[in-house]
Amino acid sequence: MEFNSKLLKELVTTYGPSGNETNICNYIKEQIKNYVDEITVDNLGNLIARKKGNGKKIMIAAHMDQIGLMITDIDENGFLRFTNIGGVSPFVSLNQHVIFENGVLGIIAMEPMDDISKLKLSNLFIDIGVKNKKEAESLVNIGDVCVYLPHYNENENTVFTSALDDRIGCYVAIETIKNIKNYKNDLYFVFTVQEEVGLRGAKTSAYKINPDICIALDVTGSGDTPKAKTFAVGLHKGTAIKVKDNSILTHPKLRNIMINVAKENNIAYQLEVLEYGGTDSGAVHLTREGVPSGVISIPTRYVHSTTEMVSKKDVLDSIKLLVKLLENDLDI
Amino acid sequence: MLLKKLTEASGVSGHEREVRNIIIDEIKDYVDDLKVDKLGNLIVFKKGKENPKKLMITAHMDEVGLMVIDIDDKGYIKFTTVGGIDKRILISKPVLIGDKKVPGVIGSKPMHLQKKEERDRAIEIDSLYIDIGVDSKEEALKFVNIGDYISFDSKYTEFGDNLIKAKALDNRVGCSLLIELIKEIEDVSFYGVFTVMEEIGLKGAGPAAYNVDPDICIVLEGTLCYDVPQIDTHLIPTRLNNGPAISLIDRTTIFNKTLREKIAEIARSNGIPYQYRKSSMGGNDSGKIHVTKEGSITATISVPCRNIHSPTSVMSKKDYENTLRLLKAILNEYKKGEFISGIQ
Amino acid sequence: MDTKEFLKKLCTGYSVSGHEYSIEETIKLGFKKYADNINVDKLGNIIIIKKGQNNISKLKIMIAAHMDEIGLIVKSIEKNGFIKFTNVGGIDPKTIIGQEVIVHGEKPLFGVVVSKPPHLQEASESEKVPKLEDLYIDLGYDSEKLKEYISVGDVITINREFKELKNDKVTGKSLDNKAGIAVMYESLKILNKTKHKADLYFVCTVQEEVGLRGACTSTYSINPDIGIAIDVGFGSTPELPKYETIDLGKGPGITIGGTIHPKLREKMVEVAKEYNIPFQYEVSPSSTGTDADVIQLTREGIPTLCLSIPLRYMHTSVEVVNIKDIENTAKLLAFFIASISENLEGLLCY
């Protein structure tokens, strides 16, 4: 399988912060509509695409929302103040470009500070290059959400851009939808909303679908950068099969199937013990009577920064694993 | 198994009887003279080929531990340490109290109820206590008395690739080596001394050395080993599986250069791996022995032990075997006589 | 089987959150004789069912005790037979120093948590508690060999014997909440000889220590009329304020607070008095920190109770409970269940 740079570039450059997923939802719908049997958008905005099959209901979840900044105030001179949507670091944000849904650009700057280590989001503001409040208000409203301006770049081995969390999961799902043939079960691919603010879309979509098994696709960290805290996951070492994070201990039998499928098909994999964070499976596995769940993670450096980085090979390995997994009976 | 028997016995400094009795049982048929001196040191003599320079080999029998100092109204037992113990290793461990070996546990405040600053701070020994399950002081006194010695409850366990976990490897490993030497070596005269109270200030060794009055002394020990990944190599005192550790210097002795070089040379010529003990911290019986009467020259040969002074000390059987080989080679050289000529 | 013997079996096994399946058989085997049916649900909760007599109105009581225990998990495999690890559930690093452990890999491996010897420490070091991330476990193999036996994600437990202390007390690891399972066991034995109306669902829940997860899904599926959580409570020790604890040997703690249905709790107290079972109160105004918290909020809401077995040194490997407390908790639970008749209206009405 070739690495589809065009698709990934379009995914990361399409606007879609938590709670404002319409654009990205429409984009994904266009990409997959000819490859699925049913496609719906539920009350919260989750995009649910079904590839009908007999057997168990398998939910595959990738969240399509991204972190962002919501405008809370516009001052006399047209400077914007903001709050975070999801996990936003003030240090990462400083001096970055942002873009609103309507294309308005801005940069994030800070008040003078004696001790920059005390920097908080409340010390930052967005300058959209206007003369006054009135002009600002003609471009931006309070409540509007902007995201880091995406710059898609790649080399032979890696991709670096913002919003890989979790458009790379969406990418894996889309490529799987397009390429999978001999699947054994009834597949529900869900592009969830509002993961970054508390796994909210996954919760309701799982209740609605009531799946037998769930596999989430999301980014994880990497422990291979200088002086990184010990974490046995790194780039170019294959897809990551999650053991735990703060939201889930993955179902041991499902996890073993994942490991065995990877081994049988010579797919490079790593086992992931993450000491923080959570993903959609965390919400799904506690739905109704419980849903055995697992996670395919894509090792990612600099998560939630303006330039996250993944390995193309790891991404392709993740797709391979997901395809082979869905071709398995998944008897647990 | 000898080392199992030795490490599972209780012998906190000042109360070495159980260990001493095991040793006496093991060696009594192999020695020409055996006595227990006024402090409790066990001194034996093996008669063989005479040598103008008197050789003494020692190992201390005692181990670090705890002692009962008070029993409160509810029957909880307050204790103090005997010997150098990192107070942080005490929490959440089982112990055995007194000669009856009454089981008890050292608990700790549930983390749920700890304040933020409590979580990061080590707990002082005076806020720890042992719970034996009784509900009053009167009841506790039926099983435990003030002054009772307390040892860790830790089973001898073999694991990994030839490793051993046990309590009191410092210095039952030395005792075990000396016992094996006494049993196996023939035709060489030497004194074997099992000392008491090393861990509380090298107390037994001085009087024992005064009694024996040796020219040369080899002290057998279990010594510190800390060789985890990601620490600077110059901070690693010894490494596991790198063979016996020959001491250079510690807080109590600058070891005789000629003797230790001789030992290293014997190791090399016999193809026995060895290492130098690269820390100047700690001290052992040599500190007293080498300055007793007119003085003697001493060397310390140790088996590296991770987690020394804890219930879960770890040593390598390979290191043990290599240490034993080295000791036998040394005695063989000593027997020849010329061993001595190089030493001023 | 004697309850103490059963408890010993439970504590000697291991069941770190998410990996409870390793004691599934032990539990099933123990309960089989006294149950009508035993199921294991999708997340691994063991549901032991005992039908009531003439239960026309299909009354259901769920009793939940979590079977998981806190533990450690392999984070990475380092050089020379060392591994790094992190916690599963609430682990106080103070309780990990110098422990011997078992890593549950392809084959169980013995190991030791390594720390710096006191001789090499700076003076200030001994006052600080090391972080888990700075500790290593020594497994004594070279790394290649090690990778054949274990992998990242294997769970680790403290190697600790179950032992008897004086005065009916026992000590070991994971008495939180194997003591709760023992209460259910003992109580089911009594209920085999006692009439009860309701269908009983004894649930050994999974993943309580990482966020009450098993109770969440099992309560949803059972949808009981009454839920009763059995867990351990902080036993009094010298360093703890009296108001935060319950005493060992003085019977179960009956929880009072927002999680607990007040009328049902009154009924529980009545039963205790009627049968002369010693009990104490345990006050938790908002959350109990037990399965009761999620049972209460399942579906349309479920009247919930919580009984606590007093336990000293919670979340260490030398937890202590009194067997008498387990027996009395079991009695109270059984007699309470036997006292519940068909008509809940009056009992549940505020």
Q: What is the pLDDT of residues B156-213, one digit of tens each?
A: 999 999 999 999 999 999 999 999 999 999 899 999 999 999 999 999 999 999 999 9
Same structural domain, C115 and C205: no
Tell me, yes or no, whether B265 and B116 share the same domain: no
Confidence check: pLDDT of C202 > 80: yes
CA distance to partner chain C, nearest, from residue B319 (Å): 13
- The stretch C59-85 carries a mean pLDDT of 96
pLDDT per residue as tens digits for the range C246-298: 999 999 999 999 999 999 999 999 999 999 999 999 999 889 999 999 999 99
pLDDT at B37: 95
- CATH classification of A5-66+162-326, choosing from 3.10.105.10, 2.20.25.90, 3.40.630.10, 3.40.50.1100? 3.40.630.10
* Residue C166 is assigned to a structural domain of this protein: no
| pTM for the structure as a whole | 0.90
Across the A/C interface, how many CB contacts are shorter than 8 Å? Answer: 73
The per-residue pLDDT for B168 is 97
State the pLDDT at residue C123. Answer: 78
d(CA A59, CA B269) in angstroms, rounded, equals: 69
Q: Is C328 helix (H, G, I), strand (E, B) or coil?
A: helix
Checking ipTM against 0.90, whether it exceeds it is no
Note whether C153 contacts A244, CB cutoff 8 Å. yes
Residues of C in contact with A275 (CB under 8 A): 75, 86
- Asked if the C-beta of B52 comes within 8 angstroms of chain C's C-beta atoms, the answer is no
pLDDT tens-digit series, residues A277-315: 999 999 999 999 999 999 999 999 999 999 999 999 999
Which of C208, C209, C282, C319 is labelled catalytic? C208
What CATH number should be reported for the domain holding residue B114? Answer: 2.40.30.40
User: Which of A249, A288, A290 is nearest residue C17 as measured by Cβ atoms?
Assistant: A249
Query: Where residue B198 sits, what CATH number does that domain have?
Result: 3.40.630.10
- Are C107 and C17 contained in the same domain? no
- What is the DSSP code string of C221-247? HH--SEEEEEEEEEB--TTS-GGG-B-
Q: Does B241 share its domain with B328?
A: yes
Q: Is A291 in contact with C42 (Cβ distance < 8 A)?
A: yes
Domain containing C105 equals 71-158
| The one catalytic residue among A21, A175, A195, A308 | A195
Q: What percent of chain A has pLDDT over 70?
A: 100
CA A83 → CA A67, B48, B144, C263, distances in Å?
A: 11, 88, 63, 45
Kindly state whether residue C339 falls inside one of the protein's structural domains.
yes
Nearest CA in chain C to A331: C42
Burial track A46-72 (b if 16+ CB lie within 10 A, e otherwise) = bbbbbbeeeebbbbbbbbbbbbbbbbe
C167/B122 touch (CB, cutoff 8 Å), yes or no = no
Cβ–Cβ of C19/A291 closer than 8 Å?
A: no
Are C99 and C232 part of one and the same domain? no
Same domain, C61 and C123: no
B222: left (phi over 0), alpha (psi -120 to 50) or beta: beta
- Closest approach of chain A CAs to the CA of C96, in angstroms? 18
Closest CA to B148 of B93, B80, B195, B202: B80
Query: Does the domain formed by A68-148 have CATH 2.40.30.40?
Result: yes
**Pair B159, C140: CB distance under 8 Å:** yes
The residue count for chain C: 350
Residue C168 lies in a domain: no
- C-chain CB neighbours of A199 within 8 Å are none
Residue B343: per-residue pLDDT: 55
Looking at the predicted structure, is the pLDDT value of residue A167 above 90?
yes
Chains in contact with A, where contact requires at least 3 CB pairs less than 8 Å apart = C
Q: Is the confidence at residue C117, as pLDDT, over 90?
A: no
How far is Cα C333 from Cα A90, in angstroms, rounded to an integer?
53
Residues of A in contact with C21 (CB under 8 A): 252
Check B121 against C160: CB less than 8 A apart: no
Contact: C76, A223; criterion CB under 8 Å: yes
Please tell me whether residues B18 and B82 are part of one structural domain: no
- Is C164 a domain residue? no
- For the stretch C12-68, pLDDT in tens is 999 999 999 999 999 999 999 999 999 999 999 999 999 999 888 899 999 999 999
Local confidence band at C350 (pLDDT 50, 70, 90 cut-offs): confident
Are B302 and B176 contained in the same domain?
Answer: yes
Cβ separation C112–B104 shorter than 8 A: no
Domain segments of chain A: what residues?
5-66+162-326, 68-148
Distance separating alpha carbons of residues C256 and C266, to the nearest angstrom: 10
Question: What confidence tens digit (pLDDT) does each residue in A221-272 have?
Answer: 999 999 999 999 999 999 999 999 999 999 999 999 999 999 999 999 999 9
CA-closest candidate to residue A108, choices A83, A132, A127: A127
Boundary (domain end) residue, out of B152, B177, B202: B152
Mean predicted lDDT score pLDDT of chain A: 96
The answer to the question of residue C125 being in a domain is yes
C-alpha C253/C-alpha C276 separation (Å) is: 15
Q: Quick one: C310 and C322 in the same domain?
A: yes
pLDDT over 90, % of chain A:
99
Q: Which residues of C touch A255 (CB under 8 A)?
A: 153
Is B163 in the C-facing interface, judged by CB distances under 8 Å?
yes
Record the tokens describing residue B80, joined without a space. 């103090």
3-state secondary structure of A177: helix
What CATH number does residue C59 fall under? 3.40.630.10
> Taking CB atoms and an 8 Å limit, are C210 and A273 in contact across chains?
no
CB C295 within 8 A of CB C288: no
Give the number of domains in chain B.
2
How large is the average pLDDT for residues C77-90? Answer: 94
Burial C304-336 (b: 16+ CB within 10 A, else e): bbbbbbbbbbbbbbbbbbbbbbbbbbbbbbbbb
Please tell me what DSSP assigns to residue C132.
G
Residue contact C76–A290, C-beta within 8 A? no
Backbone angles phi, psi at B119, to 5 degrees: -65, -35
The answer to whether residue A168 scores a pLDDT higher than 90 is yes
The predicted model gives A108-119 an average pLDDT of 95
pLDDT at A1: 82
Are C210 and C322 in a shared domain? yes
The pLDDT value given to residue C1: 86
Q: Which of B86, B95, B164, B313 to mutate to test the interface with C (most CBs of C within 10 A)?
A: B86
Which of the 8 DSSP states describes residue B294? T
Q: Does B229 reside within a domain?
A: yes
Mean pLDDT of C294-321: 97
Same domain, C325 and C195: yes
**Facing C126 at nearest CB: one of B120, B122, B279:** B122
Whether residue C124 has pLDDT greater than 90: no
Containing domain of residue B25, as a range?
A: 2-63+167-336
Cβ of A329 under 8 Å from any chain C Cβ?
no
pLDDT tens for chain B, 344 residues: list them. Answer: 899 999 999 999 999 999 999 999 999 999 999 999 999 999 999 999 888 889 999 999 999 999 999 999 999 999 999 999 999 999 999 999 999 999 999 999 999 999 988 898 999 999 999 999 999 999 999 999 999 999 999 999 999 999 999 999 999 999 999 999 999 998 999 999 999 999 999 999 999 999 999 999 999 999 999 999 878 888 899 999 999 999 999 999 999 989 999 999 999 999 999 999 988 889 999 999 999 998 899 999 999 999 999 999 999 999 999 999 999 999 999 988 767 655 55
Residue A135 appears among annotated catalytic residues: no
Q: Please state whether C211 falls in left (phi above 0), alpha (psi between -120 and 50) or beta.
A: left
Is there a single domain that holds both residue C37 and residue C178? yes
